[in-house]
Structure 1
Amino acid sequence: MQISARSDYAVKAMIGAALHAGEGFISSARLAEGQNIPQSFIPTILADLRRGGLLTSQRGFVGGYVLARPAAEISVGDILRTIQGSLTTVRGLSLDDVDYRADANANLTTLWQSVEDSIAAVVDRVTLADLVAARESCRD
Structure 2
Amino acid sequence: MRISARADYAVRAALHLATARETEPLKAEAIADSQCISHKFLEGILNDMRRGGLVRSQRGGNGGYWLARPADRITIADVIRVVDGPLVSVRGVRPPELSYTGPAESLLPLWIALRANVRQILDGVTLADVASSELPPQVSALTDDPEAWTNP
Identity fraction in percent: 40
What CA distance in whole angstroms lies between the structure 1 residues aligned with 2:97 and 2:39? 34
TM-score, normalising length: structure 1: 0.88
Provide the residue aligned with 1:51 in structure 2: 51
What CA distance in whole angstroms lies between the structure 1 residues aligned with 2:16 and 2:122? 18
What CA distance in whole angstroms lies between the structure 1 residues aligned with 2:96 and 2:40? 32
What CA distance in whole angstroms lies between the structure 2 residues aligned with 1:87 and 1:99? 19
- Residue 54 of structure 1 and its aligned partner are, at CA, apart by 0.3
Which residue identity lines up with residue 126 of structure 1 in the other structure?
Answer: V
Which residue identity lines up with residue 111 of structure 2 in the other structure?
Answer: W
Q: Tell me, what secondary structure is at the counterpart of 1:90?
A: coil
- Residue 76 of structure 1 and its aligned partner are, at CA, apart by 0.3
What CA distance in whole angstroms lies between the structure 2 residues aligned with 1:21 and 1:130? 17
Q: Tell me, what secondary structure is at the counterpart of 1:91?
A: coil
Moved over 6 A (4+): none
- Residue 10 of structure 1 and its aligned partner are, at CA, apart by 0.4
What CA distance in whole angstroms lies between the structure 1 residues aligned with 2:94 and 2:43? 25
What CA distance in whole angstroms lies between the structure 2 residues aligned with 1:40 and 1:95? 33
What CA distance in whole angstroms lies between the structure 2 residues aligned with 1:28 and 1:96? 38
What CA distance in whole angstroms lies between the structure 2 residues aligned with 1:98 and 1:91? 10
Provide the residue aligned with 1:93 in structure 2: 93
| Structure 2 counterparts to residues 1-140 of structure 1, below 5 A | 1-100=1-100, 102-134=101-133
What CA distance in whole angstroms lies between the structure 2 residues aligned with 1:59 and 1:99? 48
Is 1:14–1:128's contact at 8 Å kept on the other side of the alignment?
Answer: yes
Structure with larger RCO (C-alpha < 8 A, sep 6+): 1
Is 1:89–1:95's contact at 8 Å kept on the other side of the alignment?
Answer: yes
Q: Which structure 1 segments of 5+ residues have no match?
A: 136-140
- Residue 96 of structure 1 and its aligned partner are, at CA, apart by 4.4
Which residue identity lines up with residue 5 of structure 1 in the other structure?
Answer: A
